[in-house]
Amino acid sequence: DAGVIQSPRHEVTEMGQEVTLRCKPISGHDYLFWYRQTMMRGLELLIYFNNNVPIDDSGMPEDRFSAKMPNASFSTLKIQPSEPRDSAVYFCASTDSVTGNNSPLHFGNGTRLTVT
């Protein structure tokens, strides 16, 4: 199993540009999470999906952020327009509900976003 795959690993962009982060969850997992990690705020849950449906997006900071999951094997997190304060490491994680309510989250290696 290749694990959760995120791309790109690093993204540097200028303020005002659109940024799209991508995630491929582990095959068979029905939950997908997007987290943001910064030194100041730690690890924040932005949004999560169950069976491709957004369940809780209360952590999305503002309307500039949007996330989609068009199918079970792909999700995107988009920031438009990007701002310097969006600079962070963005993690995608997946898990399944089949093995029980305490199945672990499997994280990707993250995308380090720098907005200048």
108 contacts 47 by C-beta, under 8 angstroms: no
Closest to other proteins by CB, 18 vs 56, is: 56
Least distance (Å) between residue 81 CB and other proteins: 27
Three-state DSSP at 86 gives: helix
Least distance (Å) between residue 72 CB and other proteins: 16
Using CB under 8 A, list all residues that contact other proteins: 4, 31, 33, 42-43, 45, 48, 50, 55-56, 91, 93, 95, 97, 101-110
Least distance (Å) between residue 104 CB and other proteins: 4
Closest to other proteins by CB, 17 vs 38, is: 38
Least distance (Å) between residue 53 CB and other proteins: 13
State both tokens at 116: 């200048």
Q: Rounded to an integer, what distance in angstroms lies between the CA atom of residue 92 and that of residue 100?
A: 20
Closest to other proteins by CB, 17 vs 103, is: 103
Per residue in 14-29, is it b (16+ CB within 10 Å) or e — as a string? eeeeebebbbbbbeeb
DSSP bridge pairs for 25: none
DSSP assignment, residue 87?
-
Closest to other proteins by CB, 31 vs 74, is: 31
